């Protein structure tokens, strides 16, 4: 068999072999790889996400291990080195009462990350349950829950956080719960839309016809198909939570001294910005680095978890 130019055309086996070789070279040989492996390969080709994941691991390790390696504790005072800039003895400098800023920054990053992770998990749990119920059952229940979501979305989050934070205290767990109670609508709307889309699919109708109850259909059949968007939104919420917690701490509403967080470290050092900017720039730089890495990581996860993606 020849083509119009008279050159022999490759047979079917040759074409199949060439297509398989091309797919393998492009990382698209999906027949021999699991969904998890395909997801990892797409994520790996997202350079910014990979770099961000590496930086986040380094930051997390420094927050965990750094205070153990320091010869100082977060509350120990060096009266011979009050309000000094970076030096060999104190790489990040000291605050106005002689405490080492490096160990306090590492501990502050640990507290901020812990609060942010707690906020993300709690927000995801609340938003997923409410969104699933609203999207699956619909009707009056969906209308009521949707109006509640809209009400939370128009509430000025920072103002509410300031008022409630002043009234009910500033413990780390209290701040985390308060943030979660205000941030859950973002995930609820995503989950609601996905459940409304999937509840009319054939596999759900088949499960319903087989006698499966609503909770089983919702959390056994539909929820696994919404895993990707939920993970992406939960990841991005970590960055949002860190920024909000740091804002509250800076405004003297969040976690306060002597417990260090990145926000209250900036608040304590704001008066020496002109004379010792490193005390503000260092914890502020950590906040910016974490927020940027979280956003790039979320972008990478969004591309990797998209089942229609061919390339990152």
Q: Residue 258, preceding bond cis, omega within 30 degrees?
A: yes
More confident residue, 178 or 123: 123
* pLDDT of amino acid 4: 47
The pLDDT of residue 311 is above 90: no
* pLDDT of amino acid 117: 92
The pLDDT of residue 149 is above 50: yes
The class level of CATH for 35-70+101-304 reads mainly alpha
Count of all residues that appear for the chain in the document? 312
Average pLDDT over residues 56-67: 92
Q: Name which of 90-104, 121-135, 147-161 the model is least confident about.
A: 147-161
Q: Are 43 and 304 in contact (CB under 8 A)?
A: yes
* pLDDT of amino acid 15: 55
The pLDDT of residue 115 is above 70: yes
Q: Are 56 and 294 in contact (CB under 8 A)?
A: yes
Residue whose entry in the numeric block shows the structure tokens 């895993």: 227
The pLDDT of residue 228 is above 70: yes
Rounded CA gap, 115 and 103, in Å?
18
Average pLDDT over residues 92-119: 89
Q: Give long-range contacts, CB 8 A cutoff, 24+ apart: 262-267.
A: 262/105, 262/108, 262/109, 262/112, 262/286, 262/287, 263/108, 263/112, 263/287, 264/108, 265/101, 265/104, 265/105, 265/108
Rounded CA gap, 146 and 2, in Å?
63
Q: Residue 213, preceding bond cis, omega within 30 degrees?
A: no
| SS3 (DSSP) at 274 | coil
Residue 303 — φ and ψ, nearest 5°? Answer: -70, -40
| SS3 (DSSP) at 2 | strand
* pLDDT of amino acid 35: 64
Task: Encode 191-224 in three state secondary structure.
Answer: HHHHHHHHCCCHHHHHHHHCCCCHHHHHHHHHHH
Greatest CA span in the chain, whole angstroms? 91
Mean pLDDT, the chain, rounded, equals: 82
Q: Name which of 46-60, 116-130, 252-266 the model is least confident about.
A: 252-266
Residue whose entry in the numeric block shows the structure tokens 């061919």: 310
* pLDDT of amino acid 309: 47
Give every CB contact of residue 116 below 8 A, 6+ residues apart in sequence: 237, 238, 239, 241, 242, 245
Residue 181 — φ and ψ, nearest 5°? Answer: -70, -15
Q: Are 130 and 124 in contact (CB under 8 A)?
A: no
The pLDDT of residue 12 is above 70: no
Locate 197 and state its tokens: 């889309």
* pLDDT of amino acid 264: 86
The pLDDT of residue 304 is above 60: yes
* pLDDT of amino acid 61: 93
Locate 217 and state its tokens: 């259909």
* pLDDT of amino acid 8: 47
Q: Name which of 32-41, 48-57, 74-83, 258-267 the model is least confident about.
A: 32-41
- 157-171, 249-263, 269-283 — most confident range: 269-283
Cα torsion 114, 115, 119, 120 to 10°: value is -30
């Amino acid at each position: 068999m020849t083509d119009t130019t008279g050159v022999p055309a490759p047979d079917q086996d040759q074409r199949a072999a060439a297509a398989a070789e091309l797919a393998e070279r492009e990382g698209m040989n999906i027949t021999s790889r699991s969904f998890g492996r395909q997801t990892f390969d797409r994520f790996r080709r997202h350079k910014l996400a990979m770099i961000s994941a590496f930086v986040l691991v380094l930051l997390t390790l420094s927050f965990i291990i750094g205070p153990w390696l320091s010869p100082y504790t977060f509350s120990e005072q060096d009266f011979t080195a009050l309000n000094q800039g970076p030096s060999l003895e104190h790489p990040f400098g000291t605050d106005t009462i002689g405490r080492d800023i490096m160990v306090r920054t590492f501990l502050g990053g640990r507290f901020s990350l812990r609060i942010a992770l707690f906020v993300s998990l709690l927000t995801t749990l609340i938003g997923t349950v409410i969104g699933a119920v609203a999207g699956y059952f619909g009707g009056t229940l969906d209308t009521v829950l949707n109006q509640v979501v809209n009400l939370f979305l128009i509430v000025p989050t920072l103002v509410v956080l300031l008022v409630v934070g002043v009234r009910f205290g500033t413990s780390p767990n209290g701040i985390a719960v308060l943030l979660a109670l205000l941030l859950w609508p973002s995930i609820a709307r995503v989950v609601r839309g996905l459940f409304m889309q999937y509840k009319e699919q054939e596999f759900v109708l088949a499960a319903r016809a087989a006698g499966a109850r609503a909770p089983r259909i919702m959390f056994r059949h539909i929820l696994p198909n919404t895993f990707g968007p939920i993970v992406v939104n939960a990841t991005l919420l970590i960055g949002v939570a860190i920024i909000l917690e740091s804002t509250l701490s800076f405004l003297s509403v969040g976690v306060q001294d002597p417990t260090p967080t990145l926000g209250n470290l900036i608040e304590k050092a704001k008066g020496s910005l002109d004379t010792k900017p490193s005390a503000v720039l260092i914890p502020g730089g950590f906040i910016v680095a974490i927020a940027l890495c979280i956003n790039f990581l979320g972008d990478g996860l969004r591309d990797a978890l998209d089942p229609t993606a061919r390339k990152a």
